[in-house]
Chains A and B, each alone.
Chain A
Amino acid sequence: MRGFNPGRWSEPDYGGILDLHADVAIAGAGPAGVAAADTLARAGLTVALLDAGRHWTPRDFPRTMADALRHLYDGRGPLVAVGSTVIPVTAGRGVGGGSLINSAICFRAPPEVLREWREEAGAELFTDDRLGRIWDALWKRMDIGPDPLAVQGPNNRAFFRGAEALGLAPRWFERNTPGCLGCARCPLGCSAGGKNSVDRAILPEALETGRLGVFANCRVEAVEREGDRVRALLGSILDPETDAPRGALRVRADRFVLAMGAIRTPRFLLGTGLAGPPCGQHLHLHPAAGMLCRYPFPVDPWAGTTQGCYVDRRDEGYMLETVLLGPDQLYAMLPLPLGPELNARLADVAHVGSSGFMIRDEDSTGSVGLNGMRYALGPGDLRRFLAAMRRCSEVFFAAGATEVYPGVMGGVVLREPDDIPRAIHDGLRPHEIFVYASHPQGTARIHPDPRLGTVDPRGRVHGLANLHVVDGSVFPSAAGVNPMMTIMAVATALAEDLAGVG
């Protein structure tokens, strides 16, 4: 395939070669890449949007976690960040990126975070007004709002009641799931078609401009460069089933945009030599954990929104967020002795409740390099993490739980609220607790000074005239709330600036 071809394309269409030309080429079709492509195409530019993964429709989504990992997750499962402990880090893959498999929680970055970004990193484009206007439009286009109570499910409702009983003012999430049926399968892709992932909500309108081509199964691997200008993106066409190379791709453009997520974008920059340190540094993860409990009443963990309600304790550095998990995940997480005891709990899985939390990381240190990710929880972040764990345990008990499994290693089970401070004390070390992450950010951060940031305040890679980054890599620090909508707003703002509109 050659030239510029608007529409959706995938490997069988290419005939083994892809040689494209467009005004702008974008690598990565997750929320950031799609938001940028939409903005640029509407501004009158021709856009080639490439993704290593494939196109999806609801009926194609896998039915098992193993197949979801195979097709919908970067690296076919969690990547890991190693440091003070080992943290699994997940990211999505395919046209739609993380929005295909995420829980669809929608938040706007708080004004104090945006102020911090403007004042400390010179991110002057991210004004409350500009991002507010972009968010308002995205909220409408993605049909974002709370799910009806009827689909929230008994587990989320129990946690909500517990938090209310403690006066913690829980709230139901706003989500881009206008057709949610409450089947708790978001991490496998929504086969009910109830989720407005970006490939379903934003991409179709962008395609209507006739100026956007979306090329699946295209892995970007290298660049052609001349002085301070990138001339072309180079890479491989991949077999949609096996990922084996099936041909070569070359995309020439006037401008290039990277949106491969906060792990792949810095790796690409480092691997191609387009940027050196501080690229890859300042990794933020929003360290998180799932926690389990046992209720004396059934909570049917297969029923409900994947994530239903939250308690906002950002004043203490964390958010509690309910989450429903599959039976395989419950099996991996329940801290009971292997064998009859653990199996008995699974045989009675209707009574297993779950929730979770995330913190805004402030004093942890992390980086993405060519050989992996490093991350060490700082003392303040560890304190906030343990405080969230205690609070989540309190809510479980207030909701009626008879046992709480807090995710402390060594088979720790809490049987009454008095156990909480004894088991979850501030002396716990990072490798003694279960930590998970799915919000990498900050690895090609904005700063006017090239010694302190990888991109300038307009998202352009320092030292290069026509290479931009628009994904969560550019965040100067952690957003503090689930990041998808902030990533989309930031990508839109940077793309508007690139196109000279907005």
Chain B
Amino acid sequence: MRWSRRRFLVAAVLGGVAASVGGFAWLGRPAAGMRALAPLELRVVRALAEALFPAGGPIGVDPLAVGTVEEVDRILAEVFEAEAARAFRYLLRTLEFGTLLSRGLPFTALPPAERLEVLRVWNGKEPLPRRLAMDSLRSVFGMAYFSRPPVLAAIGWRDLCPVR
């Protein structure tokens, strides 16, 4: 792709925010009961799960009640290589403080509907770095939420494979 001036600017701003929020700071120890997520990141993951899969929404399974947050933490601790897990945690911090610039409040302080609006903007097709960041959020939250048995039961997904 061609990197237009505008794209460079957006990427630079995103990178700058990430660096100032996380890059110079120690990411912090895991929150109580977590293996990867620090307390701030844990709050962002909760807020994300609530915004993406609201308990009263069409699927109707509360993400917090079925262990989605714990599964995101496990994916970061066990599945991701260390560098990728660190990048993901910076991304959570970027999301948290990015809305300070655009909406005057950190992501976790926004009402759920407004959180969803932010995520939809992030989900837009450009700029590419932001879209890739959103792709990785969707993929991790998708793996975490749609592996929970109550969620699979709610959408009617059946596991036909016996274990031999």
Q: Which residues of A contact B (CB under 8 A)?
A: 58-59, 63-67, 69-70, 75-77, 84-86, 181-185, 190-193, 300, 302-303, 326-329, 331-332, 337-340, 343-344, 346-350, 409-411, 429-432
Contacts and interface: CB of A to CB of B under 8 A. Distances in A.
A116 to B, nearest CB: 31
A242 to B, nearest CB: 9
B53 interface: yes
Contacts, number: 129
Contact of A338 (B52, B75, B125, B131): B52
B33 interface: no
Contacts of A348: 155
The 6 A-B residue pairs whose C-beta atoms are closest, nearest first, are A183-B161, A331-B142, A409-B125, A328-B142, A183-B160, A193-B164
B79 A191 contact: no
B55 to A, nearest CB: 11
Contact of B71 (A66, A77, A339): A66
A475 B27 CA distance: 45
28 contacts: A58-B164, A64-B147, A66-B79, A66-B144, A67-B79, A69-B79, A70-B78, A76-B79, A181-B160, A181-B161, A183-B161, A184-B160, A185-B159, A190-B161, A191-B164, A192-B162, A192-B163, A302-B157, A302-B158, A303-B160, A327-B142, A332-B135, A338-B120, A339-B119, A346-B58, A410-B124, A410-B125, A431-B1
Nearest to A341: B58
Contacts of A430: 1
B128 interface: yes
A327 B146 contact: yes
A75 B154 CA distance: 32
A67 B80 CA distance: 10
B113 to A, nearest CB: 9
A193 B71 CA distance: 28
A66 B155 CA distance: 19
Contact of A327 (B51, B71, B157): B157
A234 B159 CA distance: 42
Given A59-B164, A67-B79, A343-B59, 14 more contacts: A58-B164, A64-B143, A76-B79, A76-B81, A85-B128, A86-B132, A193-B164, A326-B146, A328-B143, A331-B138, A331-B141, A331-B146, A339-B52, A343-B57
Contact of A182 (B52, B152, B160): B160
Residue among B78, B154, B158 with most chain A CB within 10 A: B78
B162 to A, nearest CB: 6
A473 B12 CA distance: 37
B111 interface: no
B139 interface: yes
B146 A340 contact: no
Contacts of B154: 347
Contacts of A327: 142, 146, 152, 155, 157
B116 interface: yes
Interface in B91-129: 116, 119-120, 123-125, 128
A348 B80 CA distance: 30
Contacts of B141: 331
Given A326-B146, A328-B143, A332-B135, A302 B159 contact: yes
Contacts of B59: 343, 346-347
A67 to B, nearest CB: 7
Nearest to A303: B160
A349 B142 contact: no
Nearest to A430: B1
A66 B139 contact: no
Contacts of A346: 58-59, 146, 155
A431 B125 CA distance: 9
Nearest to A63: B159
B68 to A, nearest CB: 12
Given A70-B78, A70-B79, A84-B1, A350 B156 contact: yes
B147 A65 contact: yes
A69 B142 CA distance: 14
A393 to B, nearest CB: 19
